[in-house]
Structure 1
C-alpha cells in the first residue's frame, strides 16, 4: 500500500505521509529548498529516490538517495555529447552519435524520469527539453543519448508547444518487456521502439492537429501530445491528453480515436487505472488564451467506459471561481488504483481515497506544483 506522496514544486520537494486518510508533510521545510523540482522518481525495483532540478542559469541537476540514507548523492545529469569528445559518450544505436561542438544543445530541463522493469536492472530513462531521450544502465551514474531517435529526419519538424523547444515528457515502458518503450513528444507525436531504441516508428495515426494547415492535420509527426499514459494491466491501451482533445488507442498506437468531453477536451494531465484500461481521469481547461478551468470551476473528469461517457467530480474541490491549472505531471494514481493526488499551478494539493468521488485539500498554499508521484 502506498503511504508516501512526493510533491515537486517551484521551491523544493515536499514528502507527505498518510495516516488513515489524512496526508501531512514530513517537514514544513522542503528538501532542495528554493529550487525548482521538475521531476521525481522512486524506482519500484529498489526504492531509490531520484530528484531532478531545473536551476536555470546553473543548469539541470540530478540527485539520488538510497533507502535508509539521509543524505543525497549527486548523479550525472543527461547531457548532449559533442563529436570527438570521448568523455561525453558517442550516443547509442548508431555510429557518430554526437553532434557538432558549435551545434550541441544544452539540456534545459529533465521533463520525465522512468525506470525499466526487472528484466533491465539499473536501467533508467530520461526525457528532456530539447527533445532528447537518454538512457542510463547504472542508476544514473552515466547517461547516453539515444541517437537513433535524435538523428531521425522527422525530428527536424518537431517544435515547441508551451516551451521554445520540443520536449519528451512521457516515457511508457511495457511491463511485459523493457525493450518496448513508447514516448510522447510536445510537439512531435508518439514514437515507439520494440528493440530498446535501435529502431523507432511513429505511432500517432488517427490523432488530429487542428492548429495545422488542413493538408497536415493528420500528420502523425506534428501532433502536440500533452501527456501519454499506459495501462499496466493492458499494455496495448494508452490514453493521451492532446492539445486538440483526448485520444485513446487499444492496439499499441496503431490507431488512435478522438474523444470529446464536456466542458472541454483540452488539458494537460491524464491518469489511467493500473488494471482497467477503460477507467481514466482528466482535468479540463480552456485553450488557448486563458489556460484556466472552464468558467473558473475546477473539476476532474472521469470515464469508466473508455470515453463513451464522463462524470464531473467536484466534491471537495474549491468553489468557483478557481484558477488552478494542472500541469502534465500534476495528476497521479497509486499502484492500487484507488488513491489520486492532484497539484496545481497555484499551490493547491488535493488527494482522493476513492477514485475521485471525494477530494481532500491537503493544502492550498504550496508553491506552484510541477509533479506529484506516489511512492
Structure 2
C-alpha cells in the first residue's frame, strides 16, 4: 500500500506520509510559491515540480532525492513567435501536466503546447507538429485565457503512442512519438457550440482524460458537458449519466479494473460548487451503467469546495484515493472511496495531488 503522497498548492508543495494514525504532512517545499504540477519520483528519486511565479514567470524545479532538495532546471520554452502569427502569445504561462513514458517525460502547458524531454527534464523540445497544425488555431481557452493541454495519457505497452486532452481542443493521439497527430474525440458533445458544431472534435472541452493502466483501450473523460468513456482507445466515446451531476473537473481511473472510475460532481458553469453544498465522490464499477454517490466522511453542509482537474488521485493498487480542494480541504480514502478521512481542512488551495 502506498505510503507517500504530495499536494501541490498555491503556497507550496506538501509531502505527506501515511502513518498508523493516518496521513500527515512531513515536508513543505517552495514555501508560499504556487506549485501548479508535480511529477512524483521515479525509482532513482528523480521528480519535477512546476511553479507559477507571477511576473517572474513559469519555472521548473528538479529533485534527485525524492524531494529533500531541489534545483532549478530549464523550463519548457517556445521558439520566437513569428510576426503576425495567429493565436495566443508563444509564452509559457503554466506547466499544466507532467507524465513519464519510457525514457521520456512529457509536459503539457498553457498555452496548449506539448513538450518532451529525453534527459529527465534538463532540456525540452516543443512538439512542432502539433503546435504547427492549423487546427490548433481553432482552439480556445474556455476557463483559461489560452488553450490548456492538461491530459497526457501514455500507452503502457506502445512506447510511441500518446493520447492528450486540450481545453478547448478535444482529444488527440499520436502513434509515432509526436511526428503525426489525429483527432480522437468522436462522440463527445459540446453543447456550448452552435448545434451544427456540437460534435466537432476540435471544439470539445475535456476537463481531464485518464487511462486504465492494465486495460489501456479504456479511457475516461470528465468533460465540460458530461462524462464520457471509450473502450476502443479513444476512437469513439460514449456519454454516461451520473447523479447528482455529470459536471465536474476530476476523474481517476482504476489501474486494474476497466469498469471502475471515480468523479467529483459539481454544479455547472457559473456556480461551480458541490450539489446542495454537500461534497461527494461518484463511483462506477460497471463501466458507467450506474454510479454510486459516496459521502461518508466528507462535509455535507455548507461545503463550497471545488476539486480541480488534477485534484483527485488513485494509487497503484486502486484502493487508496486522495482528494484536495480549492479551499484547502484534503481527504484520503483507504477503501476505494467508501469512506473518507480529513487530512487537513486548512491547506492553501490545492491544484494537484499525486501518490508516489
Equivalence for 2:98 = 113
What is the aligned length?
Answer: 353
Equivalence for 1:86 = none
Counterpart Cα distance in 2 of 1:284 and 1:360: 19
Q: Quick check: 1:270–1:328 contact (8 Å CA) kept in 2?
A: yes
Equivalence for 1:7 = 7
Counterpart Cα distance in 2 of 1:216 and 1:69: 46
Counterpart Cα distance in 2 of 1:158 and 1:45: 37
Q: Which has the higher strand share?
A: 2
By how many angstroms is 1:268 displaced?
A: 0.0
Q: How does 1:184-203 map to 2 (within 5 A)?
A: 184-203=165-184
- 1:215-239 Cα offsets, whole Å, 9 max, x none, are 0000000000000000000001100
Q: Confirm whether residue 275 of structure 1 aligns to residue 275 of structure 2.
A: no
Find 1:72's aligned residue among 46, 70, 73.
70
- 1:107-126 Cα offsets, whole Å, 9 max, x none, are 00000001112xxx2x1100
Q: Quick check: 1:226–1:268 contact (8 Å CA) kept in 2?
A: yes
Equivalence for 1:293 = 274
SS of aligned partner of 1:269: strand
Equivalence for 2:82 = 100
Equivalence for 1:130 = 111
Counterpart Cα distance in 1 of 2:138 and 2:21: 47
By how many angstroms is 1:45 displaced?
A: 4.7
Counterpart Cα distance in 2 of 1:265 and 1:47: 38
Gaps of 5+ in 2: none
Equivalence for 2:200 = 219
Find 2:139's aligned residue among 158, 167, 189.
158
Find 2:61's aligned residue among 60, 63, 78.
63
Find 2:36's aligned residue among 8, 30, 38.
38
Equivalence for 1:90 = none
| Change beyond 3 A, Cα 1:43–1:201 | farther
SS of aligned partner of 2:65: coil
SS of aligned partner of 1:215: helix
Equivalence for 1:234 = 215
By how many angstroms is 1:277 displaced?
A: 1.0
Q: Quick check: 2:47–2:66 contact (8 Å CA) kept in 1?
A: no
Equivalence for 1:94 = none
Counterpart Cα distance in 1 of 2:131 and 2:238: 28
Q: How does 1:167-186 map to 2 (within 5 A)?
A: 167-186=148-167
By how many angstroms is 1:21 displaced?
A: 5.8
By how many angstroms is 1:177 displaced?
A: 1.9
By how many angstroms is 1:186 displaced?
A: 0.3
TM-score calculated relative to the size of structure 1: 0.92
SS of aligned partner of 1:57: helix
| Change beyond 3 A, Cα 1:101–1:59 | farther
- 1:45-86 Cα offsets, whole Å, 9 max, x none, are 53312111011211011111112774212111001012xxxx
Q: How does 1:278-357 map to 2 (within 5 A)?
A: 278-357=259-338
| Change beyond 3 A, Cα 1:69–1:265 | closer
| Change beyond 3 A, Cα 1:69–1:37 | closer
TM-score calculated relative to the size of structure 2: 0.97
Q: Quick check: 1:5–1:17 contact (8 Å CA) kept in 2?
A: yes
Gaps of 5+ in 1: 83-98
SS of aligned partner of 1:38: strand
| Change beyond 3 A, Cα 1:102–1:153 | closer
Counterpart Cα distance in 1 of 2:55 and 2:65: 31
Equivalence for 1:20 = 20
Q: Quick check: 1:43–1:115 contact (8 Å CA) kept in 2?
A: no
SS of aligned partner of 1:283: strand
